[in-house]
Structure formats: C-alpha cells, structure tokens
A and B are shown apart, each in its own frame.
Chain A
C-alpha cells in the first residue's frame, strides 16, 4: 500500500522551460513534506520542504506547492537546467510518528 505516489516515472523537459513534478499522498495525517534529488551513484540530497501549515515554499528556482484538500503536492523548477537531470523523490512525514515515507521517484531529463 503506497502512501506516497509519484505517478510519472519519468519526465523530459527542454532547457529553460518549467519542470513540474507531482506527488500524491493518501495519509491525511502527514504534516511535513520534503523533496530530495538523487544523481546516479550518489545518495539523495535534500532539496526543499514544506509544512502543512503552508501552501507554498520557494527557494530560488524551486517552488513546492501543497494542496492539502487534494492531498497533492508539486515541485516546480523554473527555469530548468541540464544539471537538474536527476531522480526526484517526494517524501512525507507524520511528525508524531517521525518516520519519512518516500515515493518511488520521478526521473527528470532536461534536454539542452
């Protein structure tokens, strides 16, 4: 039973355009969300996070949007760069249980 879903296994975007990565979750008790980025042969690295009390968090080219009623979050990358090509994991936390649940990941390719 997947609690965190990333229904697009892969995504291709032209350099300079917007990349939108989507994530859905089923547990309404999740109250903190994170995005991690992973290059081949490396461990995931933290990218951006958002608390459930917010609906948007921005950090440079990266913005995460949270729609609690729809149990949906998305990561926007603008403008996309070739160095953004990686696997992106959405993760959710129910802070009272303090356990991170990762989605299966979306592989982003930014084409020069």
Chain B
C-alpha cells in the first residue's frame, strides 16, 4: 500500500512570495488533514477535509492560507503572501474510513518551508 505522498519536500522562498504544497492521500482514505509543525512544537491542525468538504478550518489563517481538495482525493495548500513565521514543516495526513481523529492518521513526509 502506497503511503501519503507530498511534494515538494523542500521549498525556500522570500517573504511576500506565494507557495503551494500538494498532497496525495492513501487510496480510499476519506479524511485528509493539513498540519503545520514549527520547530520545537508539535503538529498543529490547519484544516481537515472529509471527502471534498471542509470539516474544520478554525486554525487556518484565512487571510493568507487556502486549501482545497479536488474531487475528494488530492489536496493543495497555498500560502499567499508568505511571512517569515510561516517557516515550518507542513504535514499532510489521511485516515480511513470515517471522520474520527481517533482513527489512525497516516502522515506524509512533509514539506519543509523556509521563508527568507
């Protein structure tokens, strides 16, 4: 079984630029999560999708961050414009079969973003 795929693995941009991250979850996983992990902290949920609908985006900074999940499969997370404090690892995770976070979440390798 293929795991959660993310790209790119690393990205360096200057502040005020835009960046996009891509995630392909495990086949059949209905729930998809985007997390932000700042160095020295645990992952923080940004947005949770159930199929292509948003379940929770309460911690997503909507003035600069956006996310979509096309056809309930792949997802993209965008930051526009980026700030220095956005430097972090962005983790995508998926779970099956339901919506409960207690279902085991499978994480991708993450995208390490550095904003200069």
Contact = CB atoms under 8 A, between A and B. Distances in A.
Q: Do A and B bind each other?
A: yes
Interface stretch (A12-20, A63-71, A102-110): A102-110
Interface string B31-56: 00000000011111100100000011
A7 interface: no
Contact of A49 (B55, B102, B109): B102
A49 B107 CA distance: 16
B104 interface: yes
Q: Identify whether the interface residues of B are mostly helix, strand, loop, or mixed.
A: loop
Interface residues of B, number: 23
Contact of B107 (A34, A43, A98, A99): A43
Given A43-B4, A43-B110, A46-B105, A99 B56 contact: yes
Contacts of A43: 4, 91, 93, 106-110
B35 to A, nearest CB: 8
B108 to A, nearest CB: 5
A41 interface: yes
Interface in A69-112: 89, 91, 93, 95, 98-105
Interface residues on A, range: 20 to 34
A91 B106 CA distance: 14
A105 B42 contact: yes
Given A43-B107, A43-B108, A95 B42 contact: no
Interface of A: 4, 9, 32, 34, 36, 41-46, 49, 89, 91, 93, 95, 98-105
20 contacts: A9-B40, A36-B107, A41-B109, A42-B109, A42-B110, A43-B4, A43-B91, A43-B106, A43-B107, A43-B108, A46-B104, A46-B105, A46-B106, A89-B42, A91-B42, A95-B102, A98-B56, A98-B102, A101-B42, A104-B40
